[in-house]
């Protein structure tokens, strides 16, 4: 198995991003931010996250929650209804689809994944690379990616998700940052882009006769982009 690679240069700790987000949202610099970044889709189970968020606020009333991704904005009436049902108005910040994902990740205290189905979710590795500890549901490769640097809970179990989030909140800022350092170290050791590329190259070379292996080279995709045409795979959402 060759895991997805994470760009550890793009995704990294950023105190500047941490304080900027709180300023942009008109929050105090000490506000605790738990985030979920992902498009609005049933598989992401935002309802599970919001139920857990309500339980967290009951114990940690200074907590705030950041949601970003396609369809995650004020126009989403279903999402607004879910927020209202959990009495989280003013606690949940909807940012919609953003280009500054790396800065948003680095601005979090905790990253959460509440999905009931995933494959190899890059967002976990990206958050870890930013030095942010994670609480994730046990789906796809989530537990494999996170290792012992965060918490893993059953999918669809909002009480378990809330308990795990509260555990990390109770570590305090220093404790979370220490856990975040171990998370980034894990990504640096196992999930970098360079490591992924090297493993693919090794695999390709192992599939040809030994005398031809030395002739294999990596082609810059820019050189062939003009002659390449996309093919639809498994529907219009994947090109």
Instruction: Give the pLDDT band of residue 151 (cuts 50, 70, 90).
Output: very high
Of all residues in the chain, the percent with pLDDT exceeding 70 is 87
For position 221, what pLDDT does the model report? 54
Instruction: Give the pLDDT band of residue 1 (cuts 50, 70, 90).
Output: confident
Instruction: Give the pLDDT band of residue 229 (cuts 50, 70, 90).
Output: low
Q: What is the mean pLDDT of residues 116-138?
A: 97
CA dist., res. 2 & res. 8, Å (int) = 17
CATH topology of domain 15-190: Rossmann fold (3.40.50)
For position 155, what pLDDT does the model report? 98
pLDDT in tens, 48-88: 999 999 999 999 999 999 999 999 999 999 999 999 999 99
Residues 6+ apart with CB under 8 A from 91: 53, 57, 63, 64, 65
CA dist., res. 207 & res. 213, Å (int) = 8
- Above 90 in pLDDT, residue 95? yes
All structural domains of the chain with their residue ranges: 15-190, 193-227
Q: What is the mean pLDDT of residues 227-233?
A: 47
Instruction: Give the pLDDT band of residue 234 (cuts 50, 70, 90).
Output: very low
- Above 90 in pLDDT, residue 14? yes
What end-to-end distance do the CA atoms of the chain give, in Å? 23
Whether the model clears a pTM of 0.85, i.e. scores above it, the answer is yes
For position 222, what pLDDT does the model report? 52
**Which alpha helices (DSSP H) does 12-157 contain, by range?**
15-24, 46-59, 77-85, 101-106, 122-129, 142-146
Of all residues in the chain, the percent with pLDDT exceeding 90 is 83
For the chain, list the strands marked E by DSSP: 32-37, 63-68, 92-94, 110-113, 134-137, 151-153
Strand partners, 137: 153
For position 212, what pLDDT does the model report? 67
Of 21, 6, 35, give the one whose Cα is nearest residue 109.
Answer: 35
CA dist., res. 94 & res. 91, Å (int) = 10
């Amino acid at each position: 198995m060759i895991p997805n690679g994470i760009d550890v240069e793009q995704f990294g700790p950023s105190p500047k991003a941490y304080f900027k987000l709180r300023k942009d949202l008109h929050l105090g610099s000490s506000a605790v931010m738990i985030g979920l970044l992902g498009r609005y889709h049933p598989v992401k189970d935002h309802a599970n996250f919001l139920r857990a968020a309500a339980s967290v606020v009951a114990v940690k009333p200074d907590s705030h929650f950041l949601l970003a991704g396609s369809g995650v904005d004020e126009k989403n009436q279903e999402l607004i209804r879910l927020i209202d049902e959990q009495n989280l108005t003013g606690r949940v910040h909807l940012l919609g689809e953003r280009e500054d994902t790396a800065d948003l990740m680095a601005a979090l205290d905790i990253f959460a994944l509440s999905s009931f189905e995933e494959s190899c979710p890059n967002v976990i590795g990206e958050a870890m690379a930013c030095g942010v500890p994670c609480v994730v549901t046990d789906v796809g490769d989530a537990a494999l990616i996170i290792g012992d640097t965060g918490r893993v809970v059953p999918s669809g179990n909002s009480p378990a998700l809330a308990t795990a989030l509260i555990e990390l909140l109770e570590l305090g800022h220093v404790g979370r940052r220490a856990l975040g350092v171990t998370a980034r170290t894990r990504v640096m050791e196992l999930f970098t882009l360079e490591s992924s590329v090297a493993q693919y190259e090794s695999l390709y070379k192992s599939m040809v006769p030994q005398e031809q292996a030395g002739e294999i080279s990596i082609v810059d995709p820019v050189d062939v982009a003009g002659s390449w045409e996309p093919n639809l795979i498994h529907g219009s959402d994947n090109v």
